[in-house]
């Protein structure tokens, strides 16, 4: 068997997409015009699939902070903090995030993916148990596999099933980490954290919440689903990313456990990865300050999210279970999804196309992510494009 033979199913899927005229993973933004618009195929296109929830990627404070850091500290760190030392900005960002979350300490990682990979694989090992929501992100699954711990899945957003599985573990529950997400990235549904935290307390397990899509989106102060649910004291580890609401790239883990600093030095994904560029850290710090100072961004985000959800629901589309900045138009027919995605792009709207096996329920979906930067007029244009693409597909 050839080394590359295992990739033939991927090649076949790519060929099928190309034959259908869809190149969803090779879309080129020829020019990014704003947080919500770009030129794609020479056409001014509304970006409705970027996870840019607060619309901060072009904010002058963030851009200026990045420019200053670029000029004073250069383009990159060229190594890990363990080997090359700590830039003052990295230390300051960890301190500011700890203050934001009201926790003892924070570790900053180079990406959100690496944050999940490193923390899960370092916290647990052989003899431990990872009890994860079945719809967890790929980075969670990969961290679990790397850990060597026993991996058990419980039914998506089902506290009763979680309770049953923890009860079966008996004394091993004390060495179990329960992993859920604040908002799930495909359908935009929230974790029932009040019930999950109660189950965790009852069995004496640990709780890790991935707030990647809920930072800046949920909670009175924008701290995420745990804040909104009032269970922050029950969450042992909060993991998230800078690449959504904060408009940059990077990740973090926040915790009140004093041992988190020990985890830092055992964490291979931290010790052996180059730390984020100073300009990225600077723009992230600026974005965090804006998130804290401007709750109206969050209110604007939800106004636009509810507007699009209501418009698409009224058209009869099957959507995710609740209004959210992530709005999934769920389709059973793959060919319909392909035709609609082409039709939307031709009408100047970019969304994410998700096909099996990437979709959680085996169907196809067109995934929209709404931004505080979207105007009501843009939201209405997105909805109108869905109506037209559903009726006629791609225009001639």
Give me the mean pLDDT over the 308-331 stretch.
96
Q: Is 59 a catalytic residue?
A: no
Q: Is 164 a catalytic residue?
A: no
Q: Which of 24, 105, 139, 185 is catalytic?
A: 185
Q: What are the start and end residues of each CATH 3.40.640.10 domain in the chain? A: 60-293
Per DSSP, the three-state class of 277 is coil
Q: Which of 59, 137, 244, 374 is catalytic?
A: 244
Tens of pLDDT, residues 24-81:
778 999 999 999 999 999 999 999 999 999 999 999 999 999 999 999 999 999 999 9
Q: Which of 213, 245, 324, 374 is catalytic?
A: 213
Q: What are the start and end residues of each CATH 3.90.1150.10 domain in the chain? A: 15-47+295-392
Q: Which of 138, 136, 143 is nearest to 117 (CA)?
A: 143
Tens of pLDDT, residues 256-277:
999 999 999 999 999 999 999 9
CATH architecture, range 15-47+295-392: Alpha-Beta Complex (3.90)
Q: What percent of the chain has pLDDT over 90?
A: 89
Mean of the per-residue pLDDT values for the chain?
95
Q: Domain 60-293 - what CATH class?
A: alpha beta
Q: What is the pTM assigned to this prediction? A: 0.95
Q: β-strand 37-40 against 43-47: which pairing, if any?
A: antiparallel
Say yes or no to pLDDT of 287 above 80.
yes
Neighbours of 174 (CB within 10 A): 13
Task: Evaluate whether 179 touches 196 at the Cβ level (below 8 Å).
Answer: no
Tens of pLDDT, residues 343-396:
999 999 999 999 887 777 778 999 999 999 999 999 999 999 999 999 875 554
Q: Is the peptide bond before 222 cis (omega within 30 degrees of 0)?
A: no
Give me the mean pLDDT over the 212-216 stretch.
98
Q: Is 244 a catalytic residue?
A: yes
**Predicted confidence band of residue 19 (pLDDT cuts 50, 70, 90):** confident
Say yes or no to pLDDT of 1 above 80.
no
């Amino acid at each position: 068997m050839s080394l590359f033979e295992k990739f033939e199913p991927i090649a076949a899927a790519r060929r099928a997409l190309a034959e259908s005229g869809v190149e969803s993973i090779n879309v080129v933004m020829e020019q990014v015009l704003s947080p919500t618009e770009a030129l794609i195929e020479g056409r001014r296109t509304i970006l409705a699939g970027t996870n840019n929830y607060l619309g901060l990627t072009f904010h002058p404070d963030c851009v200026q902070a990045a420019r200053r850091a670029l000029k004073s500290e250069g383009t990159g760190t060229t190594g890990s903090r363990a080997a090359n030392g700590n830039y003052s900005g990295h230390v300051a960002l960890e301190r500011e995030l700890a203050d934001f979350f009201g926790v003892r300490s924070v570790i900053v990682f180079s990406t959100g993916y690496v944050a999940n990979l490193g923390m899960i694989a370092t916290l647990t090992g052989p003899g431990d148990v990872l009890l994860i929501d079945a719809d967890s992100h790929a980075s969670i699954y990969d961290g679990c596999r790397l850990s060597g711990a026993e991996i058990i899945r419980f039914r998506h957003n089902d506290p009763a099933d979680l309770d049953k599985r923890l009860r079966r573990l008996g004394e091993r529950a004390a060495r179990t980490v329960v992993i859920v997400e604040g908002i799930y990235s495909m359908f935009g549904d929230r974790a029932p954290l009040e019930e999950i935290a109660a189950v965790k307390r009852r069995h004496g397990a640990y709780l890790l919440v991935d707030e990647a899509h809920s930072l800046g989106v949920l909670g009175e102060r924008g701290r995420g689903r745990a804040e909104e649910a009032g269970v922050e004291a029950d969450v042992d580890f909060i993991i998230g990313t800078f690449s959504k609401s904060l408009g940059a790239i990077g990740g973090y883990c926040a915790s009140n456990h004093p041992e988190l600093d020990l985890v830092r030095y055992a964490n291979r994904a931290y010790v052996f990865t180059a730390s984020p560029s100073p300009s990225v850290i600077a723009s992230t710090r600026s974005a965090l300050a804006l998130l804290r100072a401007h709750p109206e961004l969050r209110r604007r985000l939800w106004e636009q999210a509810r507007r699009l959800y209501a418009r698409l629901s009224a058209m009869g589309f099957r959507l995710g279970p609740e209004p959210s900045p992530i709005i999934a138009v769920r389709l059973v027919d793959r060919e319909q999804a392909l035709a609609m995605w082409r039709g939307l792009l031709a009408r100047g709207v970019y969304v994410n196309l998700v096909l099996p096996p990437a979709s959680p329920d085996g169907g196809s979906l067109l995934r929209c992510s709404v931004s505080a930067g979207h105007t009501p007029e843009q939201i209405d244009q997105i909805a109108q494009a869905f109506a037209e693409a559903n009726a006629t597909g791609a225009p001639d």
